[in-house]
Amino acid sequence: MGVGVHVEKLNAWFGATQALYDVAMEVPANHATAVIGPSGCGKSTFVRCLNRMHETIRDTRLEGTVRIGSLDVYGNSTSAVEVRRRVGMVFQKPNPFPTMSIYDNVAAGLKLNGFHNRRVLDEVVERSLRMAALWDEVKDVLKKKSGASLSGGQQQRLCIARALAVQPEVMLMDEPASALDPISTSKIEELIFQLKEQYTIVIVTHNMQQAARVAEYTGFFLMGKLIEFDKTEKIFTNPSDKRTEDYITGRFG
Amino acid sequence: MPDEPITSKAVAGGPAQGGPQRSPAQQRFVDLRRTILDRFATGFAVLMAVCVVAPLLAVFGYLVVRGVGSLNLAFFTHLPVPVGEQGGGVANAIVGSVMILAIASVIGVPLGIGSGIYLAEYGRGTFAALLRFTADVLNGVPSIVIGIVAYALVVIPQKHFSALSGGVALGIMMIPTITRATEEVLLLVPLAVREAAWGLGVARWRATLSVTLRTASAGVITAVMLAFARIAGETAPLLFTAFGNQFWNFNPNQPTAALPLQLFVYAISPFDEWHRLAWACALVLIVLLVGAVTAVRLAARRGVFQGAS
Amino acid sequence: MRNLVEAAGFPQNPPREPGTAAAGSRAIPLIPAKTSKIPDRAFAVAMLGCGVSLLAVVVLIVIELVMKSGLSLHAFGWHFFTTSNWDPVAGDFGALPFIYGTLLSSLEALVIAIPLSIGVAVFITEMCPRPLRGTLSFMTELLAAIPSVVYGLWAIFVLAPLLRAHVQPWLAKYFGWTGLFSGPPFGIGMLAAGVILAIMIVPIIASITREVLTAVPQQQREAVLALGATRWEMIRVGVLRNARTGIVGAIILGLGRALGETMAVTMVIGNTPQIAKSLFAPGYSMASVIANEFTEATGDLYLSALIEIGLGLFLVTIVVNILAGLLVWSVTRGTPARVRA
């Protein structure tokens, strides 16, 4: 089962520019939480702070607490590698490994973690591809086709399978469908719907309809601050904050 | 969707602590091994960087230490003296190098820039691709082979060695470098600049020279300097073209001394006095070449390669 | 309309009647409407001529090399490249020792240079702290600016004694059983030639490798990191693996350079036309024999033999460089050559 994410007093900087101001959020386990807001509001930054990808950019700084289940993400004894193994990430633009076959792409995370047993790999690869709803389309060309030879939508599902293969507890998705056509997008959304039974999902999206379709909870960000966090239904029908209402109704953003 | 919906019952295992089940001790071992490998890789890369920088520092260090003592006025103004005597200089080699390099530039620079202009402004399709390919091929030909060709083209008909043949060899070597660099720099000049000139009714040839080339002039000059620096240190092609000379020579049709040639002769000789002179020659050569390369680097940092400002 | 224009203060031209030149305006245009096309054509032809000169040069190279080595080709045929007897006095020439020397010294150089170049390239692009990056890459490129003859000088008086005094005895003691390190340690010899060649080709391999590594998109690195990889694993899977075609191209380019390198090798290889197993032994390379014996060559056959060696060198380096160019091109997609300081 997935675990919840606890965020407290999170502040983040790019150089001297502050990107997040005192963000506090409780992401509930086994649900999908959407993070919405206009461009540049900090939603991607927020999500990247959850799996310590924010610090891979040079000259960044971060303060605050993030806990994934019982794991203190920024604790002194916690390594970034461990955090990233337990939190999976899917990026905006699909980025399969072009020099590897579909099979090797999905198995990459496992191999890095030292699993080389053929049978274990085969089983996990199949399971992950099934979960990502890609198995039937690629099962005959697993080792023959490269990861980059698939269509955009398939590539993104491959990336999802790759992330699922290491069996994370939380899945972070940074606008996973924004580079895809509508049909692929709906496939991804169906996927999220099913995945949230096992995993805790945080999905960044600039598409409010998508948030409404997919997530039970939604957080609205504006200029680096979390303005409102509540059940999706409430955010979209009866938001508490005026700014949320303005964004939802399209007055800006 | 072709697959049946995944329910928690259908998927065995589900999310776990980061992978198929393993004992904590096993996991710790794997993690430790990966961390050690990571540290080792970093250390190895640092070691490699050190091993690359070390010879550079060693070469410069020895050049300075062994060569600087011999750099006096006599070195730059006197002729070489016979074996066994002290002192002497490489004045004729410096003059000879200047002469040979001047001849090389006269051949290499116009042909190189012209080819670059052709590729950037006029070249289309397979012929242009063939030219680019040829330039790359010529770039890779060993300098001694070019020396053989210059020997065949100039020395054999003339029946003697000459600065001219040396200049021909070095000039040929300059062409591909200057061509490719000029092409690239010219392509960086925005179309808008050319269109502005054409729109004024300026003839195309004039526009190319006075506007496009001038806009890119800093980059072209740098490219020429780089090519020049590259051939200034070349020795092999001169071995049997310019051949060398112990005395003054101002006639391009006679064998001529050159600084790198002189260096070579001194270095492989059995005389200590000549070895001392060899170090001094090397130091002079290096100072000039490194100066040129550093200047180019600084110019590149200033954005000289950005075409129009 | 005119009043408004007047009111705005714009200067106006007096009204023009067709056919007459209005008072106050220029009657004759300065630039003639029709200009000759000849200068443009002439210029285009001149530029084309410059381009053609490139082709002409390469064609000339091939013609001269083939023609001038005709005597030797005729006398020895293919055996020239398979026999080892180099006897100017008897007029018998076999180039095998030189081919062996060139190949062995280049191979040696690659073995040493590859880990050095890739290591320093990875260090600069992936591991190095920002302030150090510029200095380090500058220093790597400075190595390329040092002329071959200066490397040779340093190799004779610094490297060879170092090898003789410290490295060779150590190698003989611990690795002598391989047969590669036997015989008296002269310092000068195949080992010194390989080492100095390695130092000379490191900048080429390193700079192209750096370009290729930098060209790997950041998303690939992030994808590997997000799976929970250590930094080395990220480099191995996300960067090196994606760049491997380009790296192979860089290595082959370095090989091409090593094959044709003349002066530094000539000064320390020992100039003995022999094929020996030990790296301590002196040898001879194709470029070196041309450099040393060209001006001493007595007789047309001797000269022709040397020129035939030059032809062989030419063909080998062409093939190697074409191969390398294809590999690097496939990665960088044929962008025009970068000016490398």
Residues of chain A that touch chain B, judged by Cβ-Cβ distance less than 8 Å? 1-2, 81-82, 85-86, 110, 112-115, 120, 124, 127, 130-131, 133, 135-137, 166-169, 187, 190, 194-195, 197-199
Q: How many whole angstroms separate alpha carbon A239 and alpha carbon A234?
A: 6
Average pLDDT over residues C229-237: 93
What CATH number matches the domain at A5-248, 3.90.330.10, 3.20.20.70, 3.40.50.300, 3.30.43.10? 3.40.50.300
Q: Residues C115, B48: contact at Cβ < 8 Å?
A: yes
Q: Which two tokens stand for residue B13?
A: 């295992």
Query: pLDDT per residue over C87-134, tens digit each?
Result: 888 888 888 999 999 999 999 999 999 999 999 999 999 998 888 898
Minimum mean pLDDT range among A160-174, B194-208, C144-158: B194-208
Q: Count CB pairs under 8 A between chains B and C.
A: 280
Interface pTM, i.e. ipTM: 0.86
Taking the C-alpha atoms of C319, C321, C324 and C330 in order, what is their torsion angle to the nearest 10 degrees? Answer: -100
Q: Residues A109, A157: contact at Cβ < 8 Å?
A: no
Kindly report each contact of residues C39-45 with a partner whose C-beta sits within 8 Å and lies 24 or more positions away, as own/partner: C39/B203, C39/B205, C39/B206, C40/B203, C40/B204, C40/B205, C42/B205, C43/B204, C43/B205, C43/B208, C44/B122, C44/B204, C44/B205
Q: Which two tokens stand for residue C208?
A: 């192209």
Which pLDDT score is estimated for B21?
A: 66
Query: pLDDT per residue over B267-284, tens digit each?
Result: 999 988 889 999 999 999
Q: Give the CA count within 13 Å in the CB-facing half-sphere of A224.
A: 12
Residue C208 C-alpha, separation from nearest chain A C-alpha, in angstroms = 20
* pTM: predicted TM-score of the whole model, two decimal places: 0.83
- Is the pLDDT assigned to residue A154 strictly greater than 60? yes
- Is the pLDDT assigned to residue C217 strictly greater than 70? yes
DSSP secondary-structure letter at C156?
I
Average pLDDT over residues C139-157: 91
Give the mean pLDDT of chain C: 85
Scanning every residue of chain C, which has its alpha carbon at the shortest distance from the alpha carbon of B220?
Answer: C339
Q: What is the distance, to the nearest Å, from the Cα of residue B290 to the centroid of all Cα atoms in its chain?
A: 11
Which chain C residues have a beta carbon less than 8 Å from that of A58? Answer: 130
A-contacting chains (≥3 CB pairs under 8 Å): B, C
Domain boundaries, chain C: 68-332
Which pLDDT score is estimated for C335?
A: 43
Which domains are assigned to chain B? 91-306 (1.10.3720.10)
Scanning every residue of chain C, which has its alpha carbon at the shortest distance from the alpha carbon of B153?
Answer: C64
CB contact under 8 A, C225 and A84: yes
Nearest residue to C126 via CA among C62, C218, C47, C208: C218
- Is the pLDDT assigned to residue A37 strictly greater than 80? yes
Q: Which two tokens stand for residue C37?
A: 């096309």
Nearest residue to C150 via CA among B276, B279, B273, B88: B279
Nearest residue to A74 via CA among A107, A40, A46, A49: A49
Cα A5 to Cα A84, A176, B109, distances in angstroms: 14, 20, 66
Minimum mean pLDDT range among B103-107, B127-131, B144-148, B164-168: B127-131
* CATH architecture group of domain C68-332: Orthogonal Bundle (1.10)
Q: Which two tokens stand for residue B102?
A: 């001047």
DSSP secondary-structure letter at C225?
H
Backbone angles phi, psi at A27, to 5 degrees: -85, 120
Which pLDDT score is estimated for C333?
A: 60
Q: Match 């050559």 to its residue by tokens.
A: C337
Domain boundaries, chain A: 5-248
Average pLDDT over residues C300-307: 90
Interface contact C53, partner B, CB < 8 A: yes
- Is the pLDDT assigned to residue A201 strictly greater than 90? yes
Average pLDDT over residues B207-220: 84
- Is the pLDDT assigned to residue C306 strictly greater than 90? yes
Residue B261 makes CB contacts below 8 A (sequence gap 6+) with B93, B235, B238, B239, B242, B243, B244
Mutation for testing the C interface, residue in B145, B194, B284 having most C CBs under 10 Å: B145
Nearest beta carbon to residue B42 from set C50, C127, C206: C127
